[in-house]
A and B are shown apart, each in its own frame.
Chain A
Amino acid sequence: MISVAIKMLLRDRRKSFLMIVGLTFASLLITQQMAIFLGIMGRTIGFITDTNLPDLWVMDPKVKFIDDIKPLQDTEFLRIRGVEGVAWAVPLYKGTLRARLEDGSFQVCNVAGLDDSTLIGSPSPLRMVQGRVEDLRHTDGVIVDEAGAATKLSRPPRKPGGPRTPLGIGDVLELNDHRAVVVGICKITRTFQSQPLLYTTYSRATTFAPRERKLLSFVLAKAKPGVDPAKLCARIRGTTGLAAYTNSQFSDLTIGYFMRNIQAPINFGISVLLSFIVGAAIATQTFSNFTLENLRYLGTFKAMGASSGLLLRMTVLQTLLVGAVGFGTGVGVASLFGVVSKGTELAFQFPWQLLAGTAGAIFLICILSSLVSLRRVVVLEPAMVFKS
């Protein structure tokens, strides 16, 4: 009877098409909206994920997220080095500075100042597009992110109306009245604020920065082999009174801050909810009509000896079938959207958890839409088949 159920569904092309379209749109919109939302949230921790060598981030206890800089005294990283279980600890400057461009305009940039001797915190060598990380040791050297170099920091057109020229090695910027020479171009994970990011050494960054009493933003540290980073964080907190987080803890802290303090979760949540409701409404209405139209035949099957259980299985199978096709099509289109938008400004992240979540949502829609029909099937009186 399984094959009968499938044939009854698929040969009613108009209704099965409508149901699949409803579920496809629900699946597409849920997946696409959530992927964009996750992409945006992922950008908030782009700087953390790009800094791949340290296990721990140490900072002022009042810091709420990665861009919330509350400077420490320059000597703090030396205290961290003294905590038992710490393999190494280096300073990191992170701040925003105004860059004066060739045409006289200004652009606010994020600046990361890396430990002068080790350059820990730099982008991975694999992400260098031009130049090398070591080139930061050249006088006034800075490494610029590729997107920033091509857009916001690009040089003005040579002719009016002509194209702007991406910043390249050897180009000069003016950072807070200090000369900075581009020695490399690197790829980075886009950040939430979408400002260009400049890497330089810690000492040079603190020279570029406005004079302040304290300039150390973070201490990056590594746990010794065999030492649990989470336990080491607790030890650092207890010993120094500073906040210490593992990479994932700091990412969670940052994402949590943005989730609580920006409107995006609500807006995207509403979109996802509306997609769910619209998908459920279309699927429920269409499937309900489908069952209603087939009620006479289901009653015939019941009269001919089909149990309610068999009819319920047939009905559930029909719903799950359109659900699976709708889910697959929707997720497929959303994936295509992700592939097409790769490398553009659009944020898009598609982890397996999202796939599982969308599958769960579509499954829920299927269950909801079949519930209405299932009730009809259960209470169906086979005697109805004798009515003409």
Chain B
Amino acid sequence: MATNEVLAVRCRDVKKSFGQGSARVQALRGVNLEIQPGELVMIVGPSGCGKTTLISVIAGILDQDEGECRVYSEDLKGIGPRARTQYRGRHIGFVFQALNLVPTLSALENVTVPLLINGIHPREAIARSTEALAKVELVERKDSFPCELSGGQQQRVAIARALVHEPKLIVCDEPTSALDHETGRKVMKLMRDVVLSEDRTLLVVTHDARIFEFADRIARMDDGRIVELTVAGPKVDQSKGAFQ
């Protein structure tokens, strides 16, 4: 893999375990991964192989036990919890499997949350959130509550929320798992077209082989390690990636 001066993500021999004694589970057994800025990398693999643990470490939500993990050259483990929380707030966007849209907030209000966390004035937050909703073509539903939106629309709100504060890295956990094939493809196309840019990197954990074609590279994990890293795109062998 060719390397630029600044990598979006660089993991070196990252290890992470949970529990103690006989209940100890080794979730990551030495992960090595480098991601270039502007890349869309999908992490695939069977349940329990360590995908979610890996993106949690990369996103600065969990600390690795051993090894090094840098995001845009920043060692998130080394900067301390407070600075790490701030770093997450400013530079990382999230799209969760369960979306986690607050049901009592409208679509627009949900999108404003990352900006408000970063101390942006509410008026500016609303303006920028409206723009973000426009990018995902949902501005006309900005006052709707999540329960009033379809699954695809909710996913688009989650995407708008992930990109509204213009983070460098967006981490998506199973973004299409609750969507039908057509809607899933639309969502991924939207992510490629709207979210991905030269300065923004997209890391997607998925089981869904139908969306592999949208990836630049696919990292296949098994038993806490990356066992295969392939260049994807239209050439990808979808049958190889179907782990369900």
Contacts and interface: CB of A to CB of B under 8 A. Distances in A.
B97 A4 contact: no
Interface stretch (B109-117, B149-157, B208-216, B223-231): B109-117
Nearest to B105: A7
B122 A3 contact: yes
Contacts of A303: 59, 61, 88, 94
Interface size class of A (residues with CB under 8 A): 20 to 34
Contacts of B92: 305
A307 B116 contact: no
Interface size class of B (residues with CB under 8 A): 20 to 34
Interface string B113-139: 110111000100000000000000000
A307 B82 contact: yes
Contact of A386 (B85, B96, B117): B96
Contact of A301 (B61, B62, B113): B113
Contacts of A11: 104-105
A304 B89 contact: yes
Contacts of A3: 116, 122
A377 to B, nearest CB: 14
A304 B113 contact: yes
A297 B89 contact: no
B56 interface: yes
A303 B62 CA distance: 10
A154 B94 CA distance: 82
B52 interface: yes
A310 B117 contact: yes
A4 B109 contact: yes
A301 B117 contact: yes
Contacts of B98: 296, 385, 387-388
A288 to B, nearest CB: 18
Interface in A1-24: 1, 3-4, 7-8, 11-12
A296 B94 CA distance: 14
A297 B102 contact: yes
A132 B96 CA distance: 84
B47 to A, nearest CB: 11
Contacts of B86: 305
A304 B109 contact: no
A303 to B, nearest CB: 6
Contacts of A294: 102
Chain B CB count within 10 A is highest, among A294, A299, A306, for A306
Nearest to A298: B102
B94 A304 contact: yes
A7 B113 contact: no
Contacts of B88: 303-305
Given A303-B61, A303-B88, A386 B55 contact: yes
B173 interface: yes
A229 to B, nearest CB: 60
B96 to A, nearest CB: 5
B90 interface: yes
B174 interface: yes
Contacts of A302: 85
Contacts of A305: 85-90, 92, 114, 117-118
Given A4-B105, A11-B104, A304 B97 contact: no
B73 interface: no
Contacts of B61: 303, 382-383, 385-386
Given A1-B117, A12-B104, A386-B52, 15 more contacts: A4-B102, A4-B113, A8-B102, A300-B96, A304-B114, A305-B86, A305-B88, A305-B90, A307-B82, A307-B85, A310-B117, A382-B61, A383-B62, A386-B173, A388-B177
Q: In the A-B complex, list the 10 residue pairs whose CB atoms are closest, starting with the nearest.
A: A305-B89, A11-B104, A300-B100, A305-B88, A388-B97, A386-B52, A297-B102, A306-B117, A1-B116, A382-B61
12 contacts: A1-B116, A4-B109, A7-B109, A299-B100, A300-B102, A301-B113, A304-B113, A306-B85, A385-B98, A386-B52, A387-B98, A388-B97
